[in-house]
């Protein structure tokens, strides 16, 4: 009788372990565990963790190319929306982002040290808009970047070389 009980305990433990592993595997995001490739840098950004529904959709135009983005629902993004339409000159930073000065400071928010390709951020120390087009593991220094939105389509419009004039309007 004792060997049967031991066998049932072992079997139950094994089934529980397998069920747990299956549940973990089905809820993980394979995109977060896969290495960054050139083609994945051109895909739209995934939803920002902890963000509410998008606040507003915007259109970014650079040298005839266009991208569509959505702003997050946070104080900095709402303040950015109050600037629209806005035209800024972008320059490339580190082969990962295009950045340019906004006409005024924005309401500051909680900065973070990481970003994803396709995200739009606000760098408070110089009142710059940053548009990330490539991930390279760079860690953003204090006070961090305040994420205000993400590009849904047309990220490739941002990756052209050189300084560009960017016009952003409500979509």
Residues 6+ apart with CB under 8 A from 86: 102, 103, 167, 168
Residue 127 structural domain:
40-170
> What is the model's pTM?
0.70
Rounded to whole angstroms, how far apart are CA atoms 83 and 58? 12
pLDDT tens-place string over residues 13-63: 443 433 333 333 333 333 333 333 333 333 344 444 445 567 899 999 998
pLDDT tens-place string over residues 123-146: 999 999 999 999 999 999 999 999
Q: What is the mean pLDDT of the chain?
A: 78
Q: For the chain, give the percent of residues with pLDDT over 70.
A: 67
Domain identity same for 48 and 128: yes
Q: CATH code at 77? A: 2.40.100.20
Count of structural domains, the chain: 2
Residues 6+ apart with CB under 8 A from 123: 99, 129, 130, 145, 146
């Amino acid at each position: 009788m004792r060997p049967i009980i031991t066998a049932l305990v072992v079997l139950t433990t094994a089934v529980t372990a397998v069920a747990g592993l299956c549940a973990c595997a089905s809820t993980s995001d394979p995109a977060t565990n896969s290495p960054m490739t050139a083609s994945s840098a051109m895909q739209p950004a995934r939803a920002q963790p902890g963000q509410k529904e998008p606040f507003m959709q915007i259109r970014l135009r650079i040298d005839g190319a266009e991208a569509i983005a959505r702003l997050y629902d946070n104080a900095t993004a709402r303040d950015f929306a109050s600037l629209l339409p806005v035209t800024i000159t972008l320059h490339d930073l580190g082969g990962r982002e295009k950045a340019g000065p906004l006409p005024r400071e924005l309401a500051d928010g909680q900065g973070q040290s990481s970003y994803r390709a396709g995200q739009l951020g606000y760098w408070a120390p110089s009142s710059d808009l940053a548009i990330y087009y490539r991930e390279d593991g760079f860690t953003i220094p204090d006070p961090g970047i305040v994420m205000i939105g993400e590009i849904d389509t047309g990220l490739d419009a941002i990756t052209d070389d050189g300084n560009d004039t960017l016009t952003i309007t409500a979509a």
